[in-house]
């Protein structure tokens, strides 16, 4: 019998007012229910927001080093549970064990990083035009932050929102994605064990239409941070800004890797394959377009097809690439594969589900050639292990094609020409730009965010910039 997990509200583990639950199945074996959570409603979200508002003043007054001590202890607790959390992540979200372990470690590192930052939060002293005045600034928390997080990085993304919010002195309401809420609940368990005061963090599971919408519109909530699809994120942005709230969104991507004439085709194919097929392509920074110079196009395609066909597909605890998270995600990927063929793209590798699995949401790493940039496969986010290869005649055309989408999250170039590398850095329309690296993978101490429809283009996440969203500046004139 699967135990039912409860919400975390005002320091207590409580059942929802709806008395309904959500079953989470193993994506590699959908008949296996691995966990059960509360299917909460608006009443539960309201209670959580009010608890966060009641706790806000005391937490804001807690010294930064003390807040940091709790974050550091929570990180240590997560480290002690790393193997358990890795297996939980694989069971609920489906990614391969090494990827899941890396994600859990990232959450640990984020908590430790922002534990140190909590003690450094302060302000600056400025020279005053008056001899009798001390002029300085101080950073204060915004208040109550609502965090709405996706299923594809179910512990890392909640961690990189939650840790800076708490470090800065905000209280939090968190709504994790229903497909894989367990790792976010584990963050609450660690913080509770570390001594986080009641009401400072509140986690409510359930549908976004009830829980997230209530958080976004709630009078007690001052800031909203959302990661997910562009379509939903833009609605959240409009909804929150209409309420006068501070908003941060990180949304979709259609990320290119530009392979120049000077690139080694096999090296470039390995970079694209890692970025496009890693995490089963279920990453907002995944490479979904390879824009390739015609002189190396054929060799690159051969090498990329070989990379795709060499990937071991299976359950995340056993294989190199796990399943997609749900039937709807798998159906969407397969639909895009059909659309690409209908539009005239050539299926060079993959394109179906593995014969050896009659259950589970598995799909083959897929490569399309003969793709033009106006095809849907080249313009729309697939969120599966599908790479479209586009041939270009020179570097200028490659840059134009790379930028010719409505997204701008991550972009990379593979080249041995330093001038091309510098031009790409200058001209690529993306918030993350990489040279001779895959589009995926982020350092935790530098800003992350996108351009165009990939972001609200307001505040960035992670690093020092990650704290800016959760703080507001006060200027003090002290005439002594």
- Looking at the predicted structure, is the pLDDT value of residue 406 above 60? yes
Mean pLDDT of the chain: 97
pLDDT, tens only, 178-232: 999 999 999 999 999 999 999 999 999 999 999 999 999 999 999 999 999 999 9
Average pLDDT over residues 459-474: 95
pLDDT, tens only, 356-399: 888 999 999 999 999 999 999 999 999 999 999 999 999 999 99
Count CB-CB contacts under 10 A for residue 364: 21
- Name residues whose C-beta falls within 8 Å of residue 209's C-beta, 6 or more positions apart in sequence: none
Res 2: pLDDT: 74
Question: Alpha-carbon distance 261 to 415, whole Å?
Answer: 7
- Looking at the predicted structure, is the pLDDT value of residue 417 above 90? yes
Q: Is 95 exposed, middle or buried (0-12, 13-18, 19+ CB in 10 A)?
A: buried
Q: Give the chain's domains with CATH numbers.
A: 7-251+456-479 (3.40.605.10), 255-435 (3.40.309.10)
Res 435: pLDDT: 98
Contact in structure between 347 and 341 (CB atoms under 8 Å)? yes
Contact in structure between 311 and 277 (CB atoms under 8 Å)? yes
**In the structure, what pLDDT confidence band is assigned to residue 480 with cuts at 50, 70 and 90?**
confident
Q: 267 to each of 274, 303, 366, 390, how far by Cα in Å?
A: 11, 9, 19, 17
- Looking at the predicted structure, is the pLDDT value of residue 1 above 60? no
In the chain, pLDDT over 70 holds for what percent of residues?
Answer: 100
287 has catalytic annotation: no
**Kind plus residue range of the DSSP H or E element containing 305:** helix 297-310
- Looking at the predicted structure, is the pLDDT value of residue 122 above 90? no
Question: Alpha-carbon distance 444 to 439, whole Å?
Answer: 15
The catalytic residue among 284, 305, 345, 386 is: 284
Q: Structure pTM?
A: 0.96
**Kind plus residue range of the DSSP H or E element containing 14:** strand 12-14
pLDDT, tens only, 186-201: 999 999 999 999 999 9
């Amino acid at each position: 019998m699967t135990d039912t997990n409860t919400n975390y509200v005002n320091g207590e583990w409580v059942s929802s007012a709806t008395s309904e639950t959500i079953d989470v199945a193993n994506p590699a074996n959908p008949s296996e229910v691995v966990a059960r959570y509360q299917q909460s409603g608006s009443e539960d979200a309201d209670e959580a927001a009010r608890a966060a508002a009641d706790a806000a003043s005391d937490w804001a007054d807690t010294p930064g080093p003390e807040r940091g001590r709790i974050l550091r202890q929570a990180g240590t607790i997560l480290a002690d549970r790393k193997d358990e959390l890795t297996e939980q992540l694989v069971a609920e979200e489906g990614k391969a064990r090494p990827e899941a372990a890396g994600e859990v470690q990232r959450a640990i590192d984020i908590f430790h990083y922002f534990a140190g930052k909590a003690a450094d939060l302060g302000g600056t002293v400025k020279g005053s035009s008056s001899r009798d005045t001390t002029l300085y600034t101080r950073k204060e928390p915004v208040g109550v932050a609502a965090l709405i997080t996706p299923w594809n990085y179910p512990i890392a993304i909640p961690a990189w929102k939650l840790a800076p919010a708490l470090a800065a002195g905000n209280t939090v309401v968190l709504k994790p994605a229903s497909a894989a809420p367990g790792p976010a609940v584990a963050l609450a368990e660690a913080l509770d064990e570390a001594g986080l005061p009641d009401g400072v963090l509140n986690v409510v599971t359930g549908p976004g239409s009830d829980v997230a919408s209530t958080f976004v519109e709630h009078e007690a909530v001052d800031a909203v941070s959302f990661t997910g699809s562009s379509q939903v994120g833009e609605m959240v942005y409009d909804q929150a800004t209409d309420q006068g709230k501070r908003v941060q969104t990180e949304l979709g991507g259609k990320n290119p890797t530009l392979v120049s004439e000077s690139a080694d085709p096999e090296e470039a194919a390995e970079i694209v394959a890692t970025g496009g097929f890693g995490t089963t392509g279920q990453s907002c920074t995944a490479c979904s377009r390879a824009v390739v110079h015609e002189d190396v196009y054929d060799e690159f395609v051969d090498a990329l097809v070989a990379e795709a066909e060499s990937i071991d597909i299976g359950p995340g605890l056993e294989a190199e690439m796990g399943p997609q998270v749900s039937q709807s995600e798998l159906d969407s990927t397969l639909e895009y594969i059909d659309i690409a063929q209908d539009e005239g793209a050539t299926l060079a590798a993959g394109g179906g589900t593995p014969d050896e699995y009659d259950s589970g949401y598995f799909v083959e790493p897929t490569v399309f050639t003969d793709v033009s940039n106006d095809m849907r496969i080249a313009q729309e986010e697939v969120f599966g292990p599908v790479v479209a290869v586009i041939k270009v005649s020179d570097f200028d055309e490659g840059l134009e094609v790379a930028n010719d989408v409505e997204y701008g999250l991550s972009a990379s170039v593979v080249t041995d020409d330093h001038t091309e590398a510098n031009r790409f850095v200058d001209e690529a329309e993306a918030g993350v730009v990489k040279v001779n690296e895959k589009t995926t993978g982020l350092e935790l101490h530098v800003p992350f965010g996108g351009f165009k429809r990939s972001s609200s283009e307001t505040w960035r996440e992670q690093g020092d910039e990650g704290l800016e969203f959760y703080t507001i500046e006060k200027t003090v004139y002290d005439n002594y």
